[in-house]
Amino acid sequence: MRARFWATALAATTMAFAAAPAMAASAQVPDVPAPWRSISDVGALLPQDRVAGPAQAPVSVVVWSDPECPYCKQFSGVPDSAIAHAQGKANLAIRLLPLPFHGAAAVLGGMAAMCVADQGGSGAYYRFLADYFARTNGGGRGLVGGRAAVVALAKQDGAADGAKLDACLRSDDTLGRISAEGDAAERATVQGTPAVAVRNNTSGETIMVDGAIDEATLSDAISLMAERTTRRGPPPADYSR
């Protein structure tokens, strides 16, 4: 599964995977507003997700992000701010999807984010991502200073144990965890980065948009999904509930 997804990514242009504005909606339920599309339930947040906001929130926002994606850089901070303004209605999980055409820099950035989370928890993870996006040149060019700069930033933001950080950055387990998040992206029909899913945690109803959106668009979707305790409109054919 992962091989098929990454092969597709390699064959595509950057604009096909990272489009701003958000890509056109498909399989849209009549009362789901554009640019959102209805998709199968992405499922409840997982134990390995790095969660910001209330653990038992009625709505979850799941974002797939590439540390080197220019539009992910543009989108950085938007979901965090939307969650902060949601008044307890929503939580956030940013998952990692470094695309092959962004090369080793994207993989290193993703692995470093994982390693920071391992030592410093979710707060450190989100701090690192914000700082990384603020510093990266994007498009696979990485941070000025290369690997040493990434390691220094990781230590600054929560991975204080240098030996553990070095082992984590060299670990096949860390790479495997990122690959698993790519598998989940394929199952969720992710078409680009950033991809944003908003899920009602009572009904499982999920809507998604591919591409960078503004905070107002995300906040409106959170409010919409918080009200939808039963699914409306025709479900996708593979909807499992």
Summarize pLDDT for 118-162 with one digit per residue, the tens.
999 999 999 999 999 999 999 999 999 999 999 999 999 999 999
Rounded distance between C-alpha atoms, residue 179 and residue 104, angstroms? 14
Rounded distance between C-alpha atoms, residue 163 and residue 192, angstroms? 35
Which whole number is the average pLDDT over 187-212?
Answer: 96
With H, G, I as helix, E, B as strand and everything else as coil, classify residue 98: coil
Confidence of residue 223 (pLDDT cuts 50, 70, 90): very high
How, if at all, do strands 90-96 and 37-39 pair? unpaired
**pLDDT given for residue 66 in this prediction:** 98
By percentage, how much of the chain surpasses pLDDT 70? 82
pLDDT mean across residues, the chain:
87
Which whole number is the average pLDDT over 218-233?
Answer: 83
**pLDDT given for residue 134 in this prediction:** 98
Bridge partner residues of 60 (DSSP): 91, 199
7: left (phi over 0), alpha (psi -120 to 50) or beta: alpha
Is residue 105 within 8 Å of residue 139, measured between CB atoms?
no
pLDDT beyond 60 at 30: no
Q: How many CB atoms lie within 10 A of CB 175?
A: 15
Q: Out of 22-31, 50-59, 67-76, 150-159, which region has the weakest mean confidence (pLDDT)?
A: 22-31
Distance of CA 100 to the CA centre of its chain: 16
pTM of this structure: 0.85
Q: Residue 176: enclosing H or E segment and its boundaries?
A: helix 172-187
pLDDT beyond 50 at 208: yes
Q: Which domains does the chain have, with CATH numbers?
A: 2-227 (3.40.30.10)
Q: Which residues contact 189 (CB under 8 A, 6 or more apart)?
A: 39, 40, 208
Q: Which residues contact 153 (CB under 8 A, 6 or more apart)?
A: 112, 128, 131, 132, 135, 143
**pLDDT given for residue 169 in this prediction:** 98
Structure tokens given for 167: 């082992």
Structure tokens given for 210: 């591919």
Query: For residue 63, how many C-alpha atoms fall within 13 Å in the half-sphere facing its CB?
Result: 29
